[in-house]
Amino acid sequence: MRTDSSPGTLPAREHLPAGDAGTPVLDVVIPVYNEEKDLQPCVLRLHEHLKRTFPYAFRITIADNASIDTTPQVAARLESEIPEVKSFRLEQKGRGRALRTVWSASDAPILAYMDVDLSTDLNALLPLVAPLISGHSDLAIGSRLARSSRVVRGAKREFISRTYNLILRGSLQARFSDAQCGFKAIRRDVAQALLPLVEDTGWFFDTEMLVLAERAGLRIHEVPVDWVDDPNSTVHIVKTATEDLKGVWRVGKALASGSLPLDRVTRPFGDDPRDRDIQDVPKGLARQLVGFCVVGGLSTLFYLVLYSLFRQFGGSQVANALALLVSAVANTAANRRLTFGVRGRGGAVRHQAQGLVVFAIGLALTSGSLAALNAASSDPAHSTELAVLVAANLAATVLRFLLFRAWVFPDRGDSAEESKVVALNTPSSPTYSTATQYPHNPQNPQYPGSYAPLPQRQPQQSAYDTSPNTTQFRAGEAADGTWRDATMQLQPVRPHDTDPRDPR
């Protein structure tokens, strides 16, 4: 998994300011592969709809995934005829790769994409991006599985879609309803922080992005859509489903091991400047209790199985000590990741050492209980031993939670502030020219020659300069300069790797 983004937290969400009409607020990406017949009708229809209904300036970007038909020529003609249309070509296939490349280089504060077949009713586009413009949400998705959605498609695709989303809910605890509807949007500041963590370059890109965003605590807005299946779709269902399941396994393993630095993609409490200074905000005691109880229950079962196994080869005290030691290591690791949300390997050894101290306390309780039982009866039954150990473990569990919360995994609210690091990006070897760069603003030296991020409520000052210049980009990179916001600078993603699993 990619873990090379700059550490830090995202700034609080802000409503986009009312800027100049010529500044693109929305960039709608249409990834295409051999779509020479459908591309022009799609772009013309989308352009007409946005001109008629969208109250902000916009751009439509055609991302050609190495088409071998006349799609590049159609895209170039549309770009020359319509000012709001831009296009560029990728020499490697993959919808995820195309989205990452365009989104990483775009200057628009709201980034969206939709499939070229326009299966989704375009009336859902404004409700999709409105929560992002207002600062209410970080990502937005169209949902074909919401109760008020109206969907026309075959039973086979309906079954596969619902089964896949049930798998996501059961394996990755996903709470969003529709992972792969080709109708999504994201705020650019979120994309800059989130995309470096997304590894997939194909059809699983959407799912991985949403799962990581949800686990990081970002807000995902869902829009019920009217959707009509495209009977001429070229997606290979079986191959795509297989690759998606592999992606589910990979992401699930990464989340379980804590190898993803999701603490780098977080929001502060509240969107009012006064709220950002609030200290000692409760960190979810109820959720921690539930997680600790679940881990504790599983650890107790694991301990009892180990005790019964070790008891066959030794005495009760030796079996208890070995079983408790092994289960304590597993319990500390599970609580570290699942209950208290500590990710990464930093401090893992110290946490295990502190966990062993807690283990020693539990060993004293359980060993003392066994000693008392043996003193009361010279040959107690095995079931009696287990009952005594369960009672002793329950007492040790309560003490273990208190020690874990107050000593092993205390809430350090200032840790994120202490871990801020600045990383600069260095673009090189340009390959295409499509986007708009904001020039140096002498009134705002924070953004010299770089893409302006979402503003931080600065009175009498616009966060977006409107003087357009054409500049060169390398696929997947931003313009020459640095991305800046109130918290961090990030490196753009360079999706130059080849993904042999790409179903397209």
Residue 226, beta-bridge partner list? 150
User: Is the pLDDT at 141 greater than 90, yes or no?
Assistant: yes
Residues near 458 by Cβ (< 8 Å), separated by ≥ 6? Answer: 444
Could you tell me what percent of the chain has a pLDDT over 70? 74
The per-residue pLDDT for range 142-175, each reduced to its tens digit, is 999 888 999 888 788 888 888 888 888 888 888 8
Identify the helix (H) or strand (E) that includes residue 483. none
Output the average pLDDT for the chain: 76
Range ranked top by mean pLDDT from 215-224, 231-240, 440-449, 453-462: 215-224
Distance from the Cα of residue 403 to its chain's centroid: 31
DSSP one-letter string for 47-101: HHHHHHH--S-EEEEEEEES-SSSHHHHHHHHHHH-TTEEEEEESS--HHHHHHH
Would you say the pTM of this structure is higher than 0.75? no
The per-residue pLDDT for range 409-422, each reduced to its tens digit, is 886 544 433 333 33
CB atoms within 10 A of CB 221: 19
Residue 186, beta-bridge partner list? 111, 139
Cα angle, residue 430 at apex, residues 425 and 434 outer, rounded to 5°? 100
Residue of 296 and 425 predicted with greater confidence? 296
Return the pLDDT at 284: 64
Q: 473 phi and psi, to 5 degrees?
A: -130, 150
Return the pLDDT at 21: 55
CB 44 within 8 A of CB 77: no
Return the pLDDT at 243: 85
Residues near 295 by Cβ (< 8 Å), separated by ≥ 6? Answer: 331, 334, 335, 338, 339
**Separation of first and last alpha carbons in the chain:** 22
Return the pLDDT at 18: 62
The per-residue pLDDT for range 349-379, each reduced to its tens digit, is 888 888 888 878 877 887 888 888 888 887 8
Range ranked top by mean pLDDT from 208-212, 253-257, 331-335, 374-378: 208-212
Burial of 273 (0-12, 13-18, 19+ CB in 10 A): exposed
Distance separating alpha carbons of residues 298 and 428, to the nearest angstrom: 52
The per-residue pLDDT for range 27-86, each reduced to its tens digit, is 999 999 999 999 999 999 999 999 999 989 999 999 998 899 999 999 999 999 999 999
